[in-house]
Structure 1
Amino acid sequence: MSPEPGVPEGLDVAGLQRRLADFAAARNWQPYHTPKNLAAALSVEASELVEIFQWLTPEESARVMDDPATAHRVRDEVADVLAYLLQLCGVLGIDALAVLDAKIDRNEERFPAPGTD
């Protein structure tokens, strides 16, 4: 099966989680990677992402990736948010893709598209 367009070959959630776990283990950070600490770090990183957009108009926010320096900051913060989320899922034994898929199913039932009743 080929990867999604734009996704490097061999890149997957489980592999990224292993890399993150290996990175933390090599630095003996596992004692700090408790669910509470990871959830707090996730919140901090999400706030740093929000900060980039805080005072932008809707139009400016839609063009945020046009400025190379700002685009770099956005990509870094998105990476940080995703890293902490994947680490939290790993610690808690949550399959991030499976729970997202199930949540989309529930949302499709709760909020049917117009004309699909």
Structure 2
Amino acid sequence: MAATDMDMAGLQRRLAEFAAARDWERYHTPKNLAAALSVEASELLEIFQWLTPEQSARVMADPETAHRVRDEVADVLAYLLQFCAVLDVDPLTALAAKLERNEVRFPVKGPEERPDPA
């Protein structure tokens, strides 16, 4: 089954099965998963660390760098999904709730309230 054919719950099950088959569940505490998530996010950031904004916008044009970006994105998502599973957090529900709060906190400004781009 292709990963693109799986839903969020399916991916979480697959990650849990992968960890269980290797007896890694004992290491998958919220603290350890949060730390691993931070490390993987830092590894993603490392790819962009010394690039100019223009270079960073073209990073996917280089096949080797694009592969590294995709791998780090996968690692970040994997640890986030495992973290959410351990704490019984639905990531899509959490994101929707956060977006709703941000829409209230940061209302769209009318044209007269927006800064002049000049």
TM-score (norm 2): 0.89
* 1:83 maps onto 2:94 in alignment: no
List aligned pairs for 1:23-42, cutoff 5 A.
Answer: 23-42=18-37
Count, aligned residues: 109
1:8 matched to 2:4? The reply is: yes
The residue type paired with residue 33 of structure 2 is L
Larger Rg: 2
Query: Matched residues in 1 for 2:101 and 2:12: separation?
Result: 26
Question: Equivalences for 1:98-109 in 2 at 5 Å?
Answer: 98-109=93-104
**Structure 1 runs not aligned, ≥5 long:** 1-6
- Counterpart of 1:8 in 2: which secondary structure? helix
Higher helix share: 2
Deviation at 1:114, TM superposition (A): 1.4
CA distance in 2, matches of 1:80, 1:104: 24
* Structure 1 residue 115: Cα displacement: 2.4
Query: In the TM superposition, what is the alpha-carbon distance from 1:8 to its structure 2 partner?
Result: 3.1
Aligned to 2:49: 54
One-letter code of the match for 2:59?
Answer: V
Aligned to 2:106: 111
Query: Residue in 1 aligned with 2:40?
Result: 45
Runs of 4+ in structure 1 deviating by more than 4 angstroms, as ranges, are none
RMSD (Å) for aligned C-alpha atoms: 1.3
Aligned to 2:67: 72
The corresponding residue for 1:18 is: 13
By how many angstroms is 1:113 displaced?
1.1
Once residues 30 and 20 of structure 1 are traced to their aligned partners in structure 2, the CA distance between those partners, rounded to angstroms, is 10
What SS does the aligned partner of 2:92 have?
helix
Q: Provide Cα deviations, 1:29-58, integer angstroms capped at 9, x if missing partner.
A: 000000000000000000000000000000
Q: Structure 2 regions of 5+ residues with no counterpart?
A: 112-118
